[in-house]
Chain A
Amino acid sequence: MADHNDPNAVNSIFSDVEVSAADVYDMFGFPGPDNSQGDRVVIALTFAAVPDTGILDTDMLYRLRLYAHPRAAVLRGERRDLDTLRLYIDGVRDTYFGPESAMEIRATIDDHGLATVAFHDFPGGSFSATVPVGEVMAIPTPDGLAVDAFIGGRDDAFFNNLPGFFRSINYAPQFYHVPSTRPDLRELPIPKTLLELEGNDLFNYNPAIPDLGWGVKLDLPPGPYTWTGDSFKKDAAGNYRFVYDGRDARAGKNANAIILEMPLQLITRHPTTDRIVDIWGESWVRKASHKVPAIPDDPIWQEHPFAFLSPDRRDKQLEGYKLVDTVGQPFADAGLSERENNRQLGANNFWLAPHFIKRLAHLGWGFGPSITALGLRCAFDTDNAPVPVHRLYHSAVEAFPRTREVIFQPLNMPDDSWDVHALGIPLRRPFEIFVPNVCALDMDTTGTWPFGRRLEDQVANRFLSLFLDMESAAADGSRYHVETLSDQALWDAAPIVPKTSPNPLKNDKEFLPHFPYLAEPW
């Protein structure tokens, strides 16, 4: 769910959409473990194992983009308002962040199972290499450096209780055959919730159909598709029922992956100051016109004279491909952009900021009352609503006051181990994390989310923790942090069943301590 089944064009949850090699899953980025020769950057892009694990689609082009820059300063005492947010967005768009000048790595596969990996616009120049799929290779660079590369099949490194998340947002296609001609019947207008709602029969766990949503689907029953109840569901012992059950929906499943480890000095001439490496990935599928053996009779410049105004169109290779999917931050597309095909913007998601505010407010009205019902402190202002509310916003201005703290609060970390050199690196805030939509790896940290993304990070729980109030202290002085929802003691003490972390805390296979880090495929 980090980016699985996003966008809808490749959303194989729908019965008429086949699993596609264009469905990029996750973007990982973290510092390499051995920095004895200088900092090293590990990046891994995973995507659907189509046509098969370790066999890549020859019609695809995968694009990894990188941009290195210094860590931005945080203004002390900044106001938490829309003007500040606008200033931030203008700032990252116009000053330090320049995705149009980003370096990029492209990978394509030929009919013989050989991958061409092309590095464009790196400080030392552009270069390329051909590597066999499924083998670890060292690619020499013009600077005399080396890039470790692996392209092929691995265990899917994502571990997640996917049906639980879909239950929480009443996402019907995970549980029901939803007519493809009725997109309005996908996320049904029932309040989002972390705890089951009394009478929400469409989505509450049904012991008679225990595998509903886990491979079993029913035809969507006739409506109504709304909720008219006024309470959470409780069992005889007074326990709430969690919409999650902690199982790993990706257990035993594979992905194909592009995994690279490279010296930071390959990415920037200023590795001591450019400590942030923005990373994002894209999938492109070959256009039909470029698959035809005969050359099309109408050159694109004749028919689309304005095409060359777009930088991407200037690129001859990309003219032959169509962008399908992007991935930077987990949940930026699948959770906040609702998988819309036209929101696959990659790093350039600035115009989506108002939508994020409205979406976070919509989610907050659902998750907030669930959090407070469990006795936890919530960052979203629900006016003490006792049960979740289904509320949509048409204006970010209207939504913002509710979600102000969710957007601005610094996300506490469980301890200081992430700040490797004890530099006092500022904690990240959600608005910085999701705009732009990149994995912003801080090379002075361990790269754990949100300072990058390590394989072992339980990012789904961390995403949910955005709604916890991380600034108020408990009586003992403790504060919530991004790992709070992964603390089993919390669930043991809560009036809830099952007593489990929402999402699994470990991958189904041990990761490797060395390159290529992702586990062998099943």
Chain B
Amino acid sequence: MVSEAAATPASATACADELHRLGSMLVSLDAADGADAATRRAHLRLRHARLSGVLGQLRSADTAVSTALLRYPEWPDLIYLRANTDIDLHRPGVALAHLDGAPGLAESPAGLELRGAALEQLGRHSQAEACFSRALTADPSWQGLAGLAQVRAAQGGLDAADALYAQAEDQLTAKEMSAFAWVRATRGELAASAGDHETAWARYRSAAAAFSGYWLVESHIARLLRRENRLGEAAAAYSALHAHTARPEMAQALGDVHRLRGDDSESARWYTVALAGYRDSAARGEALYLHHLAAYYADVAGQPEEAAQWAARDAGARRAGDGRWSSLDPRPTSAVRPGRSSI
């Protein structure tokens, strides 16, 4: 069976080429059986989903991991993938529960990095930092450095974060250009946050040159265009991103841009699309867009009480061990940043 991912055609961008390669690898595994093959298939689906940015593919990857785990519940690499997708889908509490259930994995550098990422999503920064530091002691990987950088950034240490990201970049080779583009674009975002647009543009340009056609870099660029009030270009960029990924946050960003341009009807149209996407996700029981719903009701709809309810649900879902809305604890959460899980 030719998979959805394998159907990606090769094209002129590095990202499209890589997606095509991943799809071909997936096809080559069609006949393979066993835990390792199931793991590789699920891993390829996850890599494909992260690179494409297509929301439906991320859900498919999540399902593929779950299905494989049902058949091979003890296979450590699948538990690792499970925790990865949990973090991608903003279920840090579930990720921690899975890691706790796999002691050999939990203490490995890869497991510690995942634990750190989950703790960071929960806003438990000092614990997250300790995990990344331990992982780096055992294996000074770019992932560990980037994870630690993310914690530092969340704590407001932008310079320290940038220095760590720079170290992560230095670890990456020409065989890891998508990862390089992610790190470089993240550094661009740090610069943009600090108001240094010149540096931000330079970093985005090199990220795009390193790995062309990557939606994550394009989304950073669209955000900077909006910041610089280049609204026509921003609208075009977000429109393309939404068409490609079907992510509701792109629709909301497009609504924001149209609102800034004074086009209320177009703005309302895109807000409706965004809200429908968020609510669809919530109706599926996903935690992924709960914080977006909170922000939507606070910033767009002007309904603070509704926003507070969604924020509470978001906090509860993150902390819950089952990833569902098991708590209405209104504990505030830190803003969610694109993490290593977005690579």
Contacts and interface: CB of A to CB of B under 8 A. Distances in A.
Given A177-B36, A293-B209, A297-B202, A222 B172 contact: no
B171 A322 contact: yes
Contact of B205 (A182, A222, A294): A294
B104 interface: yes
Contact of A289 (B34, B35, B180, B199): B180
A291 B179 CA distance: 13
A292 B35 CA distance: 38
Given A181-B105, A182-B104, A289-B180, A300 B206 contact: no
Given A59-B175, A297-B203, A292 B77 contact: no
A288 B80 contact: no
A181 B114 CA distance: 12
B170 interface: yes
B314 interface: no
B36 A15 contact: yes
A298 B166 contact: yes
Nearest to B199: A297
> Which 6 pairs show the lowest CB-CB distances between chains A and B?
A177-B36, A288-B180, A59-B174, A288-B172, A179-B76, A286-B174
A16 B40 contact: yes
A502 to B, nearest CB: 29
A390 interface: no
B233 interface: no
Interface string A268-308: 00000000000000000111111111101110100110000
Given A222-B74, A287-B174, A292-B180, 11 more contacts: A59-B174, A59-B175, A179-B77, A181-B104, A181-B110, A183-B108, A219-B34, A285-B174, A292-B209, A303-B166, A304-B167
Contact of B210 (A184, A285, A292): A292
Contacts of B104: 181-182, 184
Nearest to A293: B209
A288 B14 CA distance: 14
A256 B53 CA distance: 38
Interface in A331-355: none
A47 B171 CA distance: 22
B177 interface: yes
Nearest to A15: B36
B111 interface: yes
A179 B72 CA distance: 12
Interface in A6-65: 15-16, 20, 59
B189 interface: no
Contacts of B210: 288, 291-292
B172 A297 contact: no
Contacts of B75: 179, 219
21 contacts: A16-B40, A59-B173, A177-B34, A181-B77, A181-B79, A181-B110, A218-B34, A219-B34, A285-B175, A286-B174, A287-B170, A287-B172, A288-B169, A288-B176, A291-B174, A292-B180, A292-B184, A292-B206, A292-B210, A303-B167, A304-B167
B76 A288 contact: no
Interface of A: 15-16, 20, 59, 177, 179-184, 217-219, 222, 285-294, 296-298, 300, 303-304, 322
A292 B217 CA distance: 15
B174 A181 contact: no
B43 interface: yes
A262 B38 CA distance: 52
Contacts of B172: 287-289
Contacts of B176: 288
Interface of B: 34-36, 39-40, 43, 74-77, 79-80, 104-105, 108, 110-111, 163, 166-167, 169-177, 179-180, 184, 199, 202-203, 205-206, 209-210
Nearest to B140: A342
A177 to B, nearest CB: 3
Nearest to A302: B166
Contact of B76 (A181, A287, A293, A322): A181
Contacts of B80: 179, 181
Contact of A297 (B39, B170, B171, B206): B206
Contacts of A181: 76-77, 79-80, 104-105, 108, 110-111
A15 B40 CA distance: 8
A59 B176 CA distance: 12
A290 B80 CA distance: 32
Nearest to A291: B174
A300 B170 contact: yes
Given A181-B80, A182-B76, A294-B209, A288 B174 contact: yes
Nearest to B34: A219
A287 B170 CA distance: 7
Contacts of A16: 40, 43
Contacts of B39: 179
A116 B131 CA distance: 44
B82 to A, nearest CB: 11
Contacts of A288: 169, 172-174, 176-177, 179-180, 210
Contacts of B40: 15-16
A314 B303 CA distance: 60
Interface centre among B163, B169, B174 (most CB of A within 10 A): B174
Contacts of A183: 108
Contacts of B199: 297
Contacts of A180: 77
A144 to B, nearest CB: 38
Contacts of A219: 34-36, 75
A322 B142 CA distance: 13
